[in-house]
Structure 1
Amino acid sequence: MVEVTVEETVSCSPDAFLALVMDPRRYAEVDRKLGPVDWVRRDGDVTEFRFRSKLPGFGPGPKVVSRMTLTPGERVDVRIPDRRENRLARRLSTFEARFSCVPVEGGIRVTRWIAFGFPAPLRWLVEPVLRRKLPADVEAEIRGVKRLLER
């Protein structure tokens, strides 16, 4: 399994940060792992969207439906739900992610955590590349969030 955690202080409110995360089309402006977004469906604190996945160091992956669940003012949890259209993606990898924020002097402290796991036949090939590439990708993503929200 490959896990990355990045923390950053951002001058904004928790609601502004979490609203950005819950808008996948807008968030794709700062996250290179999100390819084109086909559709977005929001129902209260749950957003589902379909997009073309892109792992750092690899070409485009399969189209995936992702589900984000908001805990207002605190966090967004992301996973790939057990749906028919996710069969290939779920066979190729496991995925979990979280965005959390806590108020601090001058804004919020954002924590971005992301984890990928792969079955044995792929693990030896994919995980070493992700260990090298994913940390810089997530750091760039969070710097992009900071720039976008602090404009």
Structure 2
Amino acid sequence: MRCSPDEFLALVLNPRRYAEVDDKLGRIDWVRREGNVTEFKFRSRLPGLPGPMPKVVSRMRLTPGERVDVEYAPSPHNRLSRRLSTFAASFVCRPVSDGTRVTRTIEFGFLPIVGLPVELILRRTLRSDVEREIRGAKELLERTEHSG
């Protein structure tokens, strides 16, 4: 991406703006930021899965200039989601000659009773969804750079 790691990570830490490029982020109820930690409550959408997913609260932790790590926020949030699944994600940025290389990871774990069907769907749909998300972030940042 033609931006600095800090510019990309600032986009990620703004969930309302990042939702413009990430279909997995449904309606956002609130966002709270304190230092290098951002929490936000939203309705999640997983590609290929029908119906509304439970609302979750995600916690993002910034390592300045390097990465953002995402997980479920701790209790009392996410009681239902924690019973059914585990979640971790990251955005790792590395400066390169023409900007920033971004590595995006998402890890889900599911209870066996719901896990197999959901896992099979996500194996088919998640990669292309993440690729579209990162392309969208690149376009958004580059459009902002040229218009500002």
Shorter-chain TM range is: over 0.9
The 3-state SS of whatever aligns with 2:7 is helix
TM-score (normalizing by structure 2): 0.94
Q: CA deviation at 1:126?
A: 0.6
Alpha-carbon deviations, 1:44-92, whole Å to 9, x = none? 0000000001111113210101000000000000000222230001112
How many positions carry a matched residue from both structures? 142
- Would you say 1:129 and 2:121 are equivalent positions? yes
The 3-state SS of whatever aligns with 1:115 is strand
- Structure 2 runs not aligned, ≥5 long: 144-148
The 3-state SS of whatever aligns with 1:116 is strand
TM-score (normalizing by structure 1): 0.92
Q: Percent of aligned positions with the same letter in both sequences?
A: 67
Q: Which residue of the other structure, out of 57, 66, 76, is the alignment partner of 2:58? A: 66
Residue number in structure 1 paired with 2:108:
116
Residue number in structure 2 paired with 1:99:
91
The 3-state SS of whatever aligns with 2:20 is coil
Give the number of the structure with larger relative contact order, counting CA–CA contacts within 8 Å between residues 6 or more apart: 1
The 3-state SS of whatever aligns with 1:38 is strand
- Structure 1 runs not aligned, ≥5 long: 1-9
Q: Distance in 2 between matches of 1:96 and 1:11?
A: 26
The 3-state SS of whatever aligns with 1:73 is coil
- Would you say 1:20 and 2:11 are equivalent positions? yes
- Would you say 1:11 and 2:11 are equivalent positions? no
**Structure with the larger strand share:** 1
